[in-house]
A and B are shown apart, each in its own frame.
Chain A
Amino acid sequence: MEPTNRMHQPWERALAFGAAVSMVAALWAIFVYVPTDRVQGIVQRIFYFHVPLALVTFLAFGITAVASALYLWRGHSRWDRVAYASAELGVVYCTLVLVTGPIWAKPIWGTWWTWDARLTTTLILWLIYIAYLMLRNLTTDPQQGARYAAVLGIIGALDIPVINRSVYWWRTIHPAVLITREGGTGLSDPRMQLTLAVSAVAMLLLFLWLLRARVAQADLHARIEELEKALLKA
């Protein structure tokens, strides 16, 4: 069995290259190319990071849920590594969403935080997956930890739509402090739409590349442990 260095396959280089190029392009588009929003001013530019980050967050937790289900069903530890890596990255992306949001909200809404349905759902999402990561760290038996985490990964993903619904009702029954929606002025300018698209592609490619790297690293780690066990037995 020849261990291959999986990180250096051609498509992976292409992925890394694509992520780097599109990220530079996105930065250029955000800071130079795109026109400043007439109403919101310069701070609106953070939107081009904020929204793609949020989209990738949902994708990451979706991958975690699917991989968790596959792990419980099939029992291949590979799926567990995918679920774990995706959850880790999802928490990083989600944290960035929660950081970039208030930076934009303070000058536009006049407050760092409001209990808007989307904000609240994102915060709860973040709390669930922080608990997911903690659960993995606090179990003694790694296999057991993988199963527990998979259970949480599945229930968490199923719960999110319900939480979103309930938080939405909660806010609409109460008087709304702020009615402004994100991107309330709309992205009317085609240059703005293009910038958003480029940024979304960049975030997605970066995520896929990081996910790939993390899973490959976890694979190698598992293999090392396997070899260690074999050596100890011998």
Chain B
Amino acid sequence: MWTLLKKDLLLEWRAREMLPALLLLGTLTLVVLSFAFDPMLPWRREAAPGAFWVALLFAAVYGFGRSFVAEQQNEVLQGLLLAPLDRGTIYLAKATSTLVYLLAADSVLMALFVVFFDVPVHQGLWPWVAATLLASVGLAALGTLFAAISMRTRAREVMLPLLLLPLVVPLFLGGVEVTERCMAGRPLGAASAWLHLMAGFDVAAVVVAWLLFEYVVED
């Protein structure tokens, strides 16, 4: 698994293909959404968490769509499947490398978000970071599975968001709720249940996707 993970990360490091595009897309989404909310309006601050999560989701879905492209072009996946490896291991390696990109994109998006939306950084940043982390794990877990599926359908660019977005509603809602609390400087309180829910979602998503991946790549 570590070898596979290293291969993916090394490829990305050498080619620098996915990450810049991912970041740019996230940034553009943030900018467009900033235009959508009049900067003078008082509720602008309240709309900010939504903007951040939409940008994150866009960047993630786009990134996942790319994640199996290299494998498909050179039939690497066929080669991997022939290797004496558990299919679940291939899945875990792929999901982990996807998660690494996503987290890299997250951190830059968060910094940009603080600048664009003038977020009060000093107060309660950690729940926001935790929510972003948890959402990224769940997104990467399901995103990798459904990227492997949508890659082999017609209209694959459209198929992935159609499959993925309804399923990750809990992550999105949780992220927005927790972030809203952080921005407003309110204590986390009842919203900490969201973090538990997201963590539970992640565990379930990883286990189920790991078990089902075998049936997706089987020919």
Contact = CB atoms under 8 A, between A and B. Distances in A.
B201 interface: yes
A156 B163 CA distance: 10
A8 B163 CA distance: 38
Contacts, number: 86
Nearest to B194: A169
A173 interface: yes
Contacts of A144: 152, 219
Interface in B109-147: 142, 145
B203 to A, nearest CB: 11
Interface residues of A, number: 29
B170 A72 contact: no
A150 to B, nearest CB: 7
Given A128-B167, A151-B145, A138 B155 contact: yes
B159 to A, nearest CB: 6
Interface in A146-194: 147-148, 150-152, 154-156, 158-159, 162-163, 165-167, 169-170, 173
Interface of B: 142, 145, 149, 152-155, 159, 162-163, 165-167, 169-170, 173-174, 177, 190-191, 193-194, 197, 200-201, 204, 208-209, 212, 215-216, 218-219
20 contacts: A72-B215, A124-B169, A127-B165, A128-B166, A131-B159, A134-B159, A135-B153, A135-B159, A139-B154, A140-B153, A144-B152, A148-B149, A148-B152, A155-B145, A155-B212, A163-B169, A166-B197, A169-B173, A170-B177, A173-B191
